[in-house]
Structure 1
């Protein structure tokens, strides 16, 4: 089946493929980010929390990507490390460690296990409710709760901006309010440019370019978190194979496979931005050329943004919109995740 970019300008396509209006959740990212920043800035800090020596962010899936963004920012702007834990067992903790247990539903088994295994640490629950909130209240552990009407992967605004606000207040790093607000303003502006009513926009172009191929998304330096987000969004929203990698590491191992020629059905997206290291920008250009010479389709996407935070968040938003348009072209509803839900059901019986 062929697909044309012009199809994406047809409102009837959204009505057929996206009857629940998943695109409204993508539109709501700026508003949810603004609300999360406000709530995190106003939330009364409990006396049990103080400036930590390290932070562990325990979560998986859509509940972890916010931690990935915060960890990336801490890596370039803080002496206090922030590590994301996507496992049942966290690394060793002590009274100087802050463990943020993040579970959208509050019922994620990996996060609950990590929460229970971190009793020697300062703990904070980040959730909409569920078992995590119940256990935290039982244990006298602070709970930051919020309300969001979509699936976890669409709650990125809360995962990033509530966490940033709280950690900034705890002295993990300093994020000036004007930088957070400028990032949210930029999200509003670019959401209008990438929304369905904007014809022939960049997100539609990318979605169409990925229509008939699996995607390998590569990004340099601090933008690697954005590539990871793209791969997850393409898989969940578009029901399409996608993977991610980072530069310069990709050039020190995986690139060698290009020497045997293109992999059938694979396309590469290379993300770039002025906020990344100049040598990594050179790597983006040269890597793209080597892959093209080997016959691999390559899309180089320069992300907008004036700061690392702004670039990461705009890059994540662009990836979400691109995956949405890919889902429309493939004729798959972006909202449900039946395979993942099926696995959860099987695990609950085991």
Structure 2
């Protein structure tokens, strides 16, 4: 079948068009001028980003994206409470696309009690009402998407906050480059037999095991793992170099027949430390590569930040095609919805 036939048959909410037009999310987010005047004069000694699922990955990506210029520690929390060290000098950014994520709402309330300066990123919901009643600045995200398909609005709105608060330098030129790249790639990834489609096709019957690099591309690896889970309805596993060299590597010594059919996806970058590159070479070629299929993903863009988002966009398309090629609707998340329903009761 042609791509359009798969899309018509399995893509009930037209995520194909959402992905194709994702660059417009970037443009809209970057035009937005957040009013953060309520935080004028604050001196932050750390930033905590609260979120779950598609609302959290923007924080993880931001830590990698700004890895060479952050002047204060930035951590992402995926729980109901702030860590004990959070105080009045800790900026808390609560990210909930729907506005009704119970863990993030709990963190918001916890931050109010501790008198932490707060910012909310959302489309509405309960957390916006709480923020409005507490005089907390709210950044309104572009509505109408499932959270994991809204990375263009959630990540770039978060980045705009950091730029506005001077926690990051001006990102204008870089953001323009990323938007232009996504627009160009949107044409490439929607043609027949494109790179993302071919990779997805090669994954049929396999379980992806994804390797990235800590503090560098781990956000890409984890994003890919989660997109396989939600979009493709596949188990996938993720770990990072060099940590996996000290434990998980031994697991490749033993794989009982029929128990696991892995394909290794390695997230590569030309700026990795020379020893990291050497570790990838040894592990992939001489250990794993002797018995298992390996797929290398690497961007050729000049700037690291652009390469990071180039990989993110490719991975989103891979997982979309991995869904429809296997007969699954990339929009459906039945088990998550059932869990939320039971929790609410």
What is the TM-score when the length of structure 1 is the normalising length? Answer: 0.92
Q: Distance in 1 between matches of 2:283 and 2:31?
A: 41
Helix, strand or coil at the partner of 1:286: helix
Q: Spell out, residue by residue over 1:13-38, the C-alpha distance to the aligned partner (whole angstroms, 9 max, x if none).
A: 21111132111111122110111112
Helix, strand or coil at the partner of 2:37: coil
Q: Spell out, residue by residue over 1:282-302, the C-alpha distance to the aligned partner (whole angstroms, 9 max, x if none).
A: 322222111022x22211222
Q: 1:112 aligns with which of 101, 105, 108?
A: 105
Helix, strand or coil at the partner of 2:221: helix
Q: Are 1:219 and 1:227, in contact at CA under 8 Å, matched by a contact in 2?
A: yes
Identify the residue that residue 31 of structure 2 maps to in structure 1: 38
Helix, strand or coil at the partner of 1:238: coil
Q: How does 1:253-268 map to 2 (within 5 A)?
A: 253-261=247-255, 264-268=260-264
Identify the residue that residue 241 of structure 1 maps to in structure 2: 235
Identify the residue that residue 17 of structure 1 maps to in structure 2: 10
Residues 345, 252 of structure 1: alpha-carbon distance in 2 compared, 3 angstrom cutoff? same
Check if 1:74 corresponds to 2:58. Answer: no
Check if 1:98 corresponds to 2:82. Answer: no
What is the TM-score when the length of structure 2 is the normalising length? Answer: 0.93
Q: Distance in 2 between matches of 1:299 and 1:251?
A: 19
RMSD over aligned Cα atoms? 1.6
Identify the residue that residue 216 of structure 1 maps to in structure 2: 209
Q: Distance in 2 between matches of 1:176 and 1:13?
A: 38
Q: Distance in 2 between matches of 1:65 and 1:204?
A: 24
Identify the residue that residue 280 of structure 1 maps to in structure 2: 276
Q: Distance in 1 between matches of 2:168 and 2:12?
A: 42
Identify the residue that residue 136 of structure 1 maps to in structure 2: 131
Q: Are 2:56 and 2:95, in contact at CA under 8 Å, matched by a contact in 1?
A: yes
Helix, strand or coil at the partner of 1:76: coil
Check if 1:149 corresponds to 2:144. Answer: yes
Q: 2:38 aligns with which of 43, 47, 62?
A: 47
| 1:305 to partner: Cα distance | 2.7
Q: Distance in 2 between matches of 1:216 and 1:332?
A: 20
Q: Are 2:12 and 2:331, in contact at CA under 8 Å, matched by a contact in 1?
A: no
Q: Distance in 2 between matches of 1:251 and 1:188?
A: 37
| 1:218 to partner: Cα distance | 0.8
Q: Distance in 1 between matches of 2:193 and 2:275?
A: 32
Residues 74, 82 of structure 1: alpha-carbon distance in 2 compared, 3 angstrom cutoff? farther
Q: Spell out, residue by residue over 1:238-281, the C-alpha distance to the aligned partner (whole angstroms, 9 max, x if none).
A: 11111211111111210111122576222110111213323222
Q: How does 1:167-186 map to 2 (within 5 A)?
A: 167-186=162-181
Q: Distance in 2 between matches of 1:188 and 1:276?
A: 27
Q: Are 1:216 and 1:243, in contact at CA under 8 Å, matched by a contact in 2?
A: yes
> Where do 5+ consecutive residues of structure 2 fail to align?
none
The size of the alignment, in residue pairs, is 337
Helix, strand or coil at the partner of 2:44: coil
Residues 162, 51 of structure 1: alpha-carbon distance in 2 compared, 3 angstrom cutoff? farther
Q: Distance in 2 between matches of 1:96 and 1:172?
A: 14
Identify the residue that residue 61 of structure 1 maps to in structure 2: 53
| 1:303 to partner: Cα distance | 2.5
Check if 1:292 corresponds to 2:289. Answer: yes
Helix, strand or coil at the partner of 1:332: coil
Identify the residue that residue 161 of structure 2 maps to in structure 1: 166
Q: Distance in 1 between matches of 2:92 and 2:106?
A: 12
Q: Are 1:99 and 1:124, in contact at CA under 8 Å, matched by a contact in 2?
A: yes
